[in-house]
């Protein structure tokens, strides 16, 4: 899936019916007119022909691949090859060409995946410094935030189950004290439905958290993801954006149910305090979970 998103895709080059079939729409002087290959196409005074896309890309002397590599400093390629010994030279060259030739809006390692409102349209030096400081802060903050939210997410189903139990116990008492008023019955029914529907929002947040990066980058954790392919910056341009996305997705486990209960208030169902129990019940767990990295770092410093 990652391979076919750029001009030099090995799939298109090697698979019959793609680059061996399509050809240049205009004559190219680097490839002389071939009566067999270019039959039915106009001959021009320059003598240029219409190379197939495979020829146009792979020809040793005049192909686009060779010409693009020629614009890169050979010493730089040699140093990168010595450093990235875990991949072949062909894969290294393809990665460099991809960084040169692929349109920015089609690349996932240039920070263009996330349509945010940070900085100005054309990033200035203060914007860049601010972004770097923010990325550093997000990185440090994640050391405590991610363990805390993981603990909260583990505790949420337990707290929700206990709240359901408490609601079921309260229903007959509430209805009796309300003298079985119809309005009280409707309100309790709506609150009962709202509490049980919170489980759906948890599952939705879990599904989004589990699949959103795959939706952006493709399936799997192997070569399908840009970060797992060799790039000059190893995908770090977008890694901070991914970390910020993980921050947002973690909060969705509390934000989505809160929004749901607030939406019920638009139609007059007063259940705003319904989720206060979730927040109060998981707060100690999150606080304790955030201390984990500090304990680990303290032990490491002792040794």
pLDDT tens track, the chain, 303 positions: 777 777 878 888 888 888 888 888 888 888 889 888 888 888 888 888 998 899 888 888 888 888 888 888 888 778 877 877 777 888 888 888 777 765 543 434 444 445 566 666 667 788 778 877 887 887 777 777 778 788 888 888 888 888 889 889 988 998 888 888 888 888 888 888 888 888 898 888 888 888 776 666 555 444 444 444 444 444 555 667 777 777 888 888 888 888 888 787 776 666 555 555 555 555 565 555 555 555 544 544 455
My answer on whether 156 and 277 are in the same domain is yes
Domain limits for position 274: 125-302
Could you please report the per-residue DSSP string of the chain? --GGGSTT-HHHHHSTTSTTT-B-SS-EEEEE--TTTTTTSPP-TT-EE--BHHHHHH-TTTSHHHHHHHTS-HHHHHHHHHH-TTS-HHHHHHHHHHHHHS-GGG-SSSS-SS----S-SS--HHHHHHHHHHHHHHHHHHHHHHHHHHHHHHHHHHHHHHHHHHHHHHHHHHHHHTTT-HHHHHHHHHHHHHHHHHHHHHHHHHHHHHHHHHHHH-SSSSTTSGGGS--TTTTHHHHHHHHHHHHHHHHHHHHHHHHHHHHHHHTT---GGGGHHHHHHHHHHHHHHHTHHHHHHHHHHH-
Same domain, 293 and 207: yes
Tell me: do 218 and 81 sit in the same domain.
Answer: no
Do 263 and 140 share a structural domain? yes
Say if 110 falls within a structural domain: no
Same domain, 95 and 240: no
Is residue 69 located within the same domain as residue 164? no
Residue 156 lies in a domain: yes
> Is residue 95 domain-shared with residue 180, that is, in the same domain?
no
The model's pTM: 0.51
**In terms of domains, do 298 and 197 share one?**
yes
Q: Is residue 176 part of a domain?
A: yes
Q: Is residue 109 part of a domain?
A: no
239 shares a domain with 94: no
User: How many domains does the chain contain in total?
Assistant: 2
């Amino acid at each position: 899936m990652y391979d076919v998103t750029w001009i030099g895709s090995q799939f298109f080059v090697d698979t019959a019916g793609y680059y061996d079939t399509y050809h240049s729409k205009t004559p190219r002087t680097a490839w002389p007119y071939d009566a067999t290959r270019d039959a039915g196409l106009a001959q021009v005074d320059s003598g240029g022909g219409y190379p197939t896309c495979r020829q146009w890309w792979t020809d040793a002397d005049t192909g686009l691949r060779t010409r693009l590599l020629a614009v890169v400093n050979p010493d730089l390629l040699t140093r990168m090859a010595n450093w990235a010994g875990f991949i072949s030279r062909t894969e290294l060259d393809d990665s460099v060409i991809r960084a040169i030739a692929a349109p920015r809006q089609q690349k996932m390692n240039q920070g263009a995946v996330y349509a945010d409102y940070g900085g100005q349209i054309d990033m200035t030096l203060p914007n860049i410094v601010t972004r770097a400081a923010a990325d550093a802060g997000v990185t440090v903050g994640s050391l405590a935030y991610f363990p805390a939210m993981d603990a909260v997410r583990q505790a949420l189903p337990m707290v929700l189950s206990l709240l359901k139990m408490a609601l079921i116990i309260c229903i007959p008492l509430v209805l009796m004290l309300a003298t079985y008023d119809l309005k009280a019955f409707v309100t309790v029914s709506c609150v009962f439905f709202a509490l049980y529907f919170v489980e759906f929002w948890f599952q939705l947040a879990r599904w989004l958290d589990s699949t959103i990066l795959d939706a952006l980058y493709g399936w799997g954790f192997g070569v399908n993801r840009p970060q797992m392919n060799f790039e000059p910056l190893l995908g770090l341009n977008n890694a901070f954006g991914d970390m910020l996305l993980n921050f947002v997705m973690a909060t969705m486990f509390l934000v989505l149910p809160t929004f749901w209960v607030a939406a019920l208030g638009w139609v007059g169902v007063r259940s705003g305090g319904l989720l206060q129990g979730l927040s109060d019940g998981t707060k100690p767990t999150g606080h304790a979970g955030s201390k984990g990295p500090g304990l680990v770092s303290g032990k490491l410093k002792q040794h």
